[in-house]
């Protein structure tokens, strides 16, 4: 396969992925809507320029409107005979629509949302949740493996659905842990003892330890996965699951907590800052 790759979207993840691809030996050029210069990765002045030099275009942008805008701007000239790999987290129905648009413009589409964040992108240990044709995935295998472990879930929609299912767990587990940690702290229970017991139990998830220091130290500024994107994903999960006869009432509270976090200025902070919307600074009532 062609060894030149155009990465569209040089945000937190797109930048880390572009760097990892370049370190793995691919010739990488980046593009960002608001121009961004990186010392180590050349950038194209326009999407048209990027598409001219790169047969494979790897999208890592915020959401569905961003994906749609990029595809529309690339147009037939930028898409025909190109492969579009899309790692942005979007809904299955949105991904299917983008796939159809890409194919109608003469390109090939691979749905490839990723599980893992900046450290996993930097070390090439992301989990790539793939939806698309087996033949295309086989052709792209060396490229995909530069970023991590590819798993083929089935046709387009299935990788996006798996990704939303994983991110629903990120949100729900983090919220559930925040509530328990909050009560433990407020009742003066020894947090170390609580954690030791939790680690020995079937209730433990490694993500609890990953976020414990952030929550205890109220330190959320160093975001790998920003709260605003978790809110987007919980909304997408809710919309996608509602149409499938899955009761999502539990997520109404989580959405509310995440919205409160965004209004309080945590949108670009790490998603574990949802702790602040759950465990308020001062106890309001005592029972
Ligand atoms: P981010 O830092 O907020 O970056 C978003 C990128 O999207 C920026 O490059 C932004 O460009 C671009 N963008 C937004 N709207 C656009 C538009 N209309 N047209 C073109 N480009 C547009 O987000 P991120 O953390 O890298 O996440 C990117 C995607 O990956 C999201 O879907 C997120 O849910 C998903 N994801 C993130 C993580 C993570 O740990 N961070 C992990 C897995 C998946 P500008 O700079 O010009 O605004």
Query: What pLDDT, on the 0 to 100 scale, is given for residue 183?
Result: 98
Spacing, Cα 32 to ligand 1 middle (Å): 10
For 143, the token pair is 């490229």
Residue 160 has pLDDT above 60, yes or no: yes
> Pocket around ligand 1: residues whose beta carbon is below 6 Å from it?
9-14, 32-34, 60-63, 65-66, 69-70, 88-89, 114, 117, 224-226, 229
Spacing, Cα 88 to ligand 1 middle (Å): 7
Give CA–CA dist 133/156, Å, rounded: 8
> What are 85's strand-pairing partners?
58, 110
Reference 58, options 119, 105, 93, 107; nearest CA is 107
What are the φ and ψ backbone dihedral angles of 224, each rounded to 5 degrees? -95, -50
Indicate the CATH number for domain 161-278: 1.10.1040.10
Which atom of ligand 1 has the smallest separation from the CA of 87?
Answer: 30
Query: What pLDDT, on the 0 to 100 scale, is given for residue 42?
Result: 97
Asked if 1 and 142 count as a contact pair (C-beta separation under 8 A), the reply is yes
Residue 286 has pLDDT above 70, yes or no: no
Spacing, Cα 248 to ligand 1 middle (Å): 26
Residue 36 has pLDDT above 90, yes or no: yes
- Hey, whose CA ends up nearest to atom 46 of ligand 1? 34
Average pLDDT value for residue range 49-77: 98
Give CA–CA dist 144/71, Å, rounded: 21
Residue 284 has pLDDT above 70, yes or no: no
- pLDDT bracket for residue 283 (50, 70, 90): low
Residue 165 has pLDDT above 70, yes or no: yes
Neighbours of 193 (CB within 10 A): 10
Which atom of ligand 1 has the smallest separation from the CA of 117?
Answer: 40
Query: What pLDDT, on the 0 to 100 scale, is given for residue 220?
Result: 97
- pLDDT bracket for residue 281 (50, 70, 90): confident
Spacing, Cα 211 to ligand 1 middle (Å): 22
- How is 175-240 classified by DSSP, letter by letter? HHHHHHHHHHHHTT--HHHHHHHHHTSTT--HHHHHHHHHHHHT---S-SSBHHHHHHHHHHHHHH
Query: What pLDDT, on the 0 to 100 scale, is given for residue 282?
Result: 72
Show Cβ contacts of residue 46 under 8 Å, excluding neighbours closer than 6 positions.
31
The residue ranges of every structural domain in the chain are 4-155, 161-278
Give CA–CA dist 192/244, Å, rounded: 41
Neighbours of 75 (CB within 10 A): 13
Spacing, Cα 10 to ligand 1 middle (Å): 7
Spacing, Cα 14 to ligand 1 middle (Å): 7
Residue 221 has pLDDT above 90, yes or no: yes
- pLDDT bracket for residue 225 (50, 70, 90): very high
Average pLDDT value for residue range 214-230: 96
Residue 222 has pLDDT above 60, yes or no: yes
Which mutation among 6, 8, 10, 11 tests ligand 1's pocket best, with the greatest number of atoms within 8 A of CB?
A: 11
Query: What pLDDT, on the 0 to 100 scale, is given for residue 2?
Result: 78
Tally of CA atoms within 13 A in the half-sphere of 134 that contains its CB: 1
Domain 4-155: what homologous superfamily?
NAD(P)-binding Rossmann-like Domain (3.40.50.720)
3-state secondary structure of 54: coil
Q: What is the pLDDT of residues 238-277, one digit of tens each?
A: 999 998 999 999 999 999 999 999 999 999 999 999 999 9
Asked if 141 and 162 count as a contact pair (C-beta separation under 8 A), the reply is no
**Distance of alpha carbon 193 from its chain centroid, rounded?**
33
Angle (deg, nearest 10), helices 227-242 and 158-186: 120
Q: Provide the sign of the torsion angle of the four alpha carbons 151, 153, 156, 157, taken in this order.
A: negative
Give CA–CA dist 211/230, Å, rounded: 15
């Amino acid at each position: 396969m062609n060894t030149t790759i155009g990465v569209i979207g040089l945000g937190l993840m797109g930048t880390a992925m572009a760097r990892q691809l370049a370190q793995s030996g691919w010739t990488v050029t980046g593009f960002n809507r608001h121009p961004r210069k990186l010392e180590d990765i050349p950038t194209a002045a326009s999407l048209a320029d990027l598409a001219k030099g790169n047969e494979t275009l790897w999208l890592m942008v915020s959401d569905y409107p961003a994906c749609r805008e990029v595809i529309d701007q690339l147009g037939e000239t930028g898409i025909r005979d190109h492969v579009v790999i899309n790692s942005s987290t979007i809904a299955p129905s949105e991904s299917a629509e983008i796939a159809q648009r890409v194919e109608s413009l003469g390109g090939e589409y691979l749905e490839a949302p990723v599980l893992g964040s900046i450290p996993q992108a930097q070390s090439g240990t992301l989990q790539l949740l793939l939806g698309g044709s087996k033949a295309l995935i086989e052709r792209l295998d060396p490229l995909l493996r530069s970023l991590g472990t590819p798993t083929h879930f089935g046709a387009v929609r299935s990788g996006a659905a798996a990704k939303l299912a994983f991110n629903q767990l990120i949100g729900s587990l983090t919220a559930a842990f925040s509530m328990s940690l909050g009560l433990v702290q407020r009742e003066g229970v020894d947090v170390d003892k609580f954690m030791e017991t939790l680690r020995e139990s079937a209730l433990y998830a490694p993500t609890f330890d990953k976020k414990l220091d952030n929550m205890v130290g109220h330190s959320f500024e160093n975001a790998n996965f920003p709260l605003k994107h978790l809110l987007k994903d919980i909304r997408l999960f809710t919309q996608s699951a509602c149409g499938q006869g899955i009761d999502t009432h539990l997520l109404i509270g989580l959405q509310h907590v995440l919205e409160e976090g965004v209004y309080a200025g945590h949108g670009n902070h790490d998603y574990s800052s949802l702790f602040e919307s759950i465990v308020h600074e001062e106890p309001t009532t005592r029972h």
